[in-house]
Structure 1
Amino acid sequence: MKLTIITPDKPVYSGEVTSVTVPGSAGSFEVLKDHAPIVSTLEDGKVIIRTGKSEEIIRIIGGVVEVVHNEITVLAEGIIEN
């Protein structure tokens, strides 16, 4: 699957992933390959990105996620830098 995370200021992440967990407004949920199309608002929280070998966490400030045809796009209002 292809994941893209962008903010109004800059692109944050782009790459192939095996799964992604996002902080949905009604609770966190995981997106796996062949997930049904969905659009959801996001709360402040962690986007957990898993590839075959590693896990990365990006903290976002709200936004929207869209999943269509194994492409996940996260439009975040901002990110919290570590």
Structure 2
Amino acid sequence: MYLEIITPDESVFEGEVDSAIFPGSDGSFQILNDHAPLVSSVGKGDVKIVRQQENKPEEIHFSIDGGVVEVLNNKILVLAESIGE
């Protein structure tokens, strides 16, 4: 599935991923391939992305300060307020 993370200032990440875990308002939640359509707010916290890189799983982490996530037709769009340090 395709993931795009953007802030008002820049595009932070674009690419194919196997899974993504987001900090939800009531706890973290995971998105996998063929997930049902979803729109949800995300809280401040860690976004964990897992993707295959040269046939090995690679984890990427981003700290976000909140925002919104939309899942539709194996595309995840994250509108983040900002990326933390």
State if a TM-score over 0.5 links the two structures: yes
- Partner of 1:42: helix, strand, or coil? strand
In structure 2, runs of 5+ residues without a counterpart are none
Work out which of the residue numbers 68, 76, 80 in structure 2 matches 1:72: 76
Residue equivalent to 1:17: 17
Q: How does 1:40-51 map to 2 (within 5 A)?
A: 40-51=40-51
Report the RMSD for the aligned CA atoms in angstroms.
Answer: 0.6
The yes-or-no answer on 1:7 pairing with 2:7 is yes
Q: Which has the larger radius of gyration?
A: 2
In structure 1, runs of 5+ residues without a counterpart are none
* TM-score, length-scaled by structure 2: 0.92
Residue equivalent to 1:62: 66
Residue equivalent to 1:34: 34
* TM-score, length-scaled by structure 1: 0.96
- Partner of 1:43: helix, strand, or coil? strand
Identity of aligned residues (%): 54
Q: How many residues align?
A: 81
